[in-house]
Amino acid sequence: MVHALPLPPSLWAATARPAPETPPLDASRQADVAIVGAGYSGLAAALQLAQAGISVVVLEAGEPGWGASGRNGGQVIPGLKHDPDELVAMFGTEAGEHLVRVAGGAPAVVFDLIARHRIECEARRCGWIQPAFAAADVAATTRRAEQWQRRGAAITVLDRDSVRRLTGSPVYHGGWIDRRAGSVQPLSYARGLARAAQKAGALVCGGSRVTALTRDGARWKLTTGHGATVAAERVLLATNGYTDALWPRLRQTVIAANSFQVATRRLPDKVLRTVLPQGHVASDTRKLLLYYRLHQGRLIMGGRGPFREPAGPRDYRHLETVIGILFPQLKGTRCEFYWSGRVALTRDHVPHMHQPAPGVSAFLGYQGRGVAMATTLGILVAKNLISPADNPLPLPITDIRPIPLHALHRIYATALLQMYRVKDYVRR
Ligand SMILES: Cc1cc2nc3c(=O)[nH]c(=O)nc-3n(C[C@H](O)[C@H](O)[C@H](O)COP(=O)(O)OP(=O)(O)OC[C@H]3O[C@@H](n4cnc5c(N)ncnc54)[C@H](O)[C@@H]3O)c2cc1C
């Protein structure tokens, strides 16, 4: 009996392009590569491999985009959490600059892919603004912008008035704009990737949770919850914030934190002209950052909430309140959509790549910046698998190292959230 996970309600689920047919794995199959997880990581890898004539089966517990890829803010942002110079300090000049180039070029990879495969996902290269929440953050945002400018990126530092004009919010002190960035309808993008992978020859199976991964002679055997199996030479684990116990200790290498979003009712045209009037996407410099954008005349506001799964609209009230603080002209505006999803946070705030056994690779930990980066890593992992010498990976392969006291992460993550809340309050 197959139990596919239903797609949770969200603005994206309500407005996405139709889902491709992805019936559960129906029989035992063989493939060159089996991929667990049909988010951007798994689907981009599947597309790349299938285009190279490699047989691929993607196994997904829900449907393509069921995880973070179908629920995120749809902000296609370059870079990682660390600034370029920090990455160079962490990884050395050559490897660090390589990683900076990959992360900086990640939005271009997404927009090229969308254009090449004619993915209908309302893609716009609109630019991303990072407004400085506290006066003390202006120096950091200016430094960040200058580091990218030195590397030739299309970046502009913004003064207080420009940020006010471009966001429509009076609360910020300055910031910068990155024109490499843009937006997509995230679930439509995931579905379009799945369709492109299918067209290239990949078999994408929804409702197919992999419950066991075992060695079977020279191959790996992936067993699904309903008993059908795939035998494959190579396995890619692309499960990010939804990583379960399939591979020992992998889940304990990340903190899977919930990120929450609300979407207002359609705003009247007069009000709409005063909020992000040029259609930029934005996320600010708070410790507990707020990210926001427009979609079809609604404002979407995202941020952290309680660490546990949300129990109902009450758990989103802080985001409704914040809308009225950032945009006084929207105070009291009703929200009509509430949803959440899991981001994967690593201890060093960079994605991790593992090869825990011959033929098995895992890549995860995008820190809430995976629209561009998960797509890019999926492609690069696939290219590396096809021809390793020509396609070096942008991050080192590391051992699986569980975060200490991971079993207690709910307690310390909740304490950390409180501390960040206080810090943001004080900094303000
Ligand atoms: C609310 C929210 C807002 C965000 N906003 C942004 C943003 O604006 N910009 C940005 O760049 N990033 C954002 N992110 C992060 C971004 O969405 C993720 O980094 C990216 O989608 C990760 O893609 P993925 O394919 O690695 O993982 P996912 O999309 O999470 O996919 C993993 C999949 O693995 C499947 N799976 C897990 N275990 C198994 C198993 N045993 N068998 C079969 N299937 C399995 C799950 O069902 C899931 O579908 C946000 C994330 C969230 C949750």
Task: Give DSSP secondary structure letters for 149-210.
Answer: HHTT--EEEE-HHHHHHHH--S----EEEETT-EE--HHHHHHHHHHHHHHHT-EEESS--E
DSSP notation for 367-378: TT-HHHHHHHHH
The pLDDT value given to residue 406: 82
Q: Which residue minimizes the CA distance to atom 41 of ligand 1? A: 210
Q: Is the pLDDT score of 425 beyond 90? A: no
Specify the DSSP class assigned to residue 218. T
Which atom of ligand 1 lies nearest, measured to the CA of 341? 53
> CA geometry: angle at 56 spanning 51 and 57, to 5°?
140
3-state class of 321 per DSSP? helix
What mean pLDDT, rounded, does the chain reach?
95
Separation of 111 CA from ligand 1 center, angstroms? Answer: 19
192 close to ligand 1 (CB < 6 Angstrom): no
Which atom of ligand 1 lies nearest, measured to the CA of 208? 43
Separation of 165 CA from ligand 1 center, angstroms? Answer: 33
Question: Among residues of the chain, what percentage have pLDDT more than 90?
Answer: 90
Query: How do residues 36-76 score in pLDDT, each as one tens digit?
Result: 999 999 999 999 999 999 999 999 999 999 999 999 999 99
Separation of 62 CA from ligand 1 center, angstroms? Answer: 12
Which CATH fold topology does 123-176+256-345 show? D-Amino Acid Oxidase; Chain A, domain 2 (3.30.9)
The pLDDT value given to residue 37: 98
Q: Is the pLDDT score of 133 beyond 80? A: yes
The pLDDT value given to residue 295: 98
Q: Which of 66, 226, 230, 242 to mutate to test the pocket of ligand 1 (most atoms within 8 A of CB)?
A: 242
The pLDDT value given to residue 1: 61
Q: Is the pLDDT score of 157 beyond 80? A: yes
Separation of 383 CA from ligand 1 center, angstroms? Answer: 21
User: Phi and psi for 393 in degrees, rounded to 5?
Assistant: -75, 150
Total-model pTM: 0.97
The pLDDT value given to residue 312: 86
Separation of 178 CA from ligand 1 center, angstroms? Answer: 24
330 close to ligand 1 (CB < 6 Angstrom): no
CA distances from 21 to 195, 206, 327 (A): 9, 9, 41
Rounded Cα distance, 135 and 281, in Å: 21
Categorize the per-residue pLDDT at 409 as very low, low, confident or very high, splitting at 50, 70 and 90. confident
The pLDDT value given to residue 419: 74
The pLDDT value given to residue 81: 92
Which atom of ligand 1 lies nearest, measured to the CA of 59? 43
Asked whether the beta carbons of 134 and 427 are under 8 A apart, the reply is yes
Separation of 67 CA from ligand 1 center, angstroms? Answer: 5
Asked whether the beta carbons of 330 and 319 are under 8 A apart, the reply is no
39 close to ligand 1 (CB < 6 Angstrom): yes
DSSP notation for 31-97: EEEEEE--SHHHHHHHHHHHHTT--EEEE-SS-TTTTGGGTS--EE--S-SS-HHHHHHHH-HHHHH
Provide the pairing of β-strand 182-183 with 155-158.
Answer: unpaired
Query: How do residues 71-90 score in pLDDT, each as one tens digit?
Result: 999 999 999 999 999 999 99
Query: How do residues 278-297 score in pLDDT, each as one tens digit?
Result: 999 999 999 889 999 999 99
Contacts of 121 (CB under 8 A, 6+ apart): 17, 114, 184, 185, 186, 188, 189, 192
Rounded Cα distance, 420 and 342, in Å: 19
User: Phi and psi for 128 in degrees, rounded to 5?
Assistant: -120, 130
CA distances from 103 to 167, 193, 278, 351 (A): 25, 20, 25, 11
The pLDDT value given to residue 69: 98
Lowest-confidence pick of 121-125, 181-185, 201-205, 288-292: 288-292
Mean pLDDT of the region 10-21: 98
Categorize the per-residue pLDDT at 205 as very low, low, confident or very high, splitting at 50, 70 and 90. very high
Query: How do residues 216-254 score in pLDDT, each as one tens digit?
Result: 999 999 999 999 999 999 999 999 999 999 999 999 999
77 close to ligand 1 (CB < 6 Angstrom): yes
